[in-house]
Amino acid sequence: MGMMDKWVESLDYQFHISDSCVRSKSPWSTCNQCVKCCHVEAITLGNHLPIIDAEKCVECGNCMAVCPIQAVEGIFPKRTIVRNQLVAGEAFVPTVNELLVFHAKGITSILFHSKVLQETWKHHVQETNRILVQLGKSPLLTQIGISPIEKNESVSRRDLFSLWGKEGKSLIKQVTPAQWRFNHANLDVARYYPDYQFFDIVVEQEKCTLCRACEALCPKKCYTIGDDSFEVSAHSCSDCKLCVDVCPEKAITIRPHVSKAVSKKHEMYSNTCVVCKDSFQTLSKLDNKCPICTKRKAGYLKSKA
């Protein structure tokens, strides 16, 4: 098998949701971003996990772009890029995440065929530009005109394979410039904006019992609990909300917030419990009851004696 055949074959893997999906990590996960974004209802939840119905899927790629963990793999959606310009298609509107990634990869404008923009397009471009301004970047420009490309230069994966037999290597080269090929791993927005964070993580010190559930499960490693401090770093947070879902004390809040990336360090204290006399760690200096005794009914130790 030649190099070109191997490359083409590598494009034809079946799309699926990998076990990095946060729903595979915990039965408490409530993430359903892929389900919500799919406009043809091709993704449903079965047995707690998302399932893609290949018959309904139109390969728009939006689920890949919204999945906070990049767990949707294998879709090869239609996007047309000509000389640093994204050509707006009729059928599919890229998500804000995807437009942010395009901008980071050098796209400066979007070419529309009509002056009347679809509401979703308008909203996504406005939202992307609002974020780009907060990041200190130049916004995406919009232009109205005729696409300079011919029909054959924008093809879906299915078209690609049917045409492969007829037109061979030259077609493959022109339709999929390597730097624009969709790859789920390339849709992690944080990777492209290393100095910024897109979400704010708030841990309520009075509620947190340092159980470490967030640290153990956060797929982006935003939490580090050491010997004397609890560090929260929101740079790579992608709002999967797994920490919120698994925190037994409901001590965590995530909210959209674009700012320079900062780490918050919460000091940890070693206190002695006034009830059981054991020492315990806490984020609240004045906390005088360990989490176990706090949860026990008052008088528990007395009644057992």
Q: How far apart are CA 231 and CA 238, in angstroms?
A: 17
25 versus 81: smaller Cβ distance to ligand SF4: 25
222 binds ligand SF4 (CB under 6 A): yes
Residue 238 binds ligand SF4 (CB under 6 A): yes
Tell me the closest approach of the beta carbon of residue 29 to ligand SF4, in angstroms: 7
CB of 127 to ligand SF4, least distance (A): 19
**Nearest one of 31, 184, 13, 189 to 104, comparing CA atoms:** 189
- C-alpha–C-alpha distance, residues 74 and 71, integer Å: 10
Binding segment for ligand SF4 (CB under 6 A), chosen from 28-36, 152-160, 187-195, 273-281, is 28-36
Binds ligand SF4 (CB under 6 A): choice among 60, 64, 72, 96: 72
State yes or no: residue 241 binds ligand SF4 (CB under 6 A). yes
Pairing of strands 252-260, 196-203: antiparallel
Based on the shown chain and the rule CB under 6 A, indicate whether residue 67 belongs to the binding site for ligand SF4.
yes
Q: Within positions 197 to 216, which residues make up the interface with ligand SF4, using CB under 6 A?
A: 201
Judged by CB under 6 A, the residue of 5, 13, 32, 206 near ligand SF4 is 32
Nearest-angstrom CA–CA distance, 54 and 16: 9
Residues of 236-261 as b/e, b for ≥16 C-beta within 10 angstroms?
bbbbbbbbbbbbeeebbebeeebeeb
Using the rule CB under 6 A, is 23 a contact of ligand SF4?
A: yes
Pairing verdict, β 49-52 and 263-267: unpaired
Residue 263 engages ligand SF4 in binding (rule: CB under 6 A): no
The answer to whether residue 237 forms part of the interface with ligand SF4 (CB under 6 A) is: yes
CA atoms within 13 A on the CB side of 290: 15
Nearest to 73 by CA among 81, 82, 63, 83: 63
Interface positions with ligand SF4 (CB under 6 A): 17, 21-23, 31-34, 50, 67-69, 71-72, 201, 218-220, 222, 237-243, 254
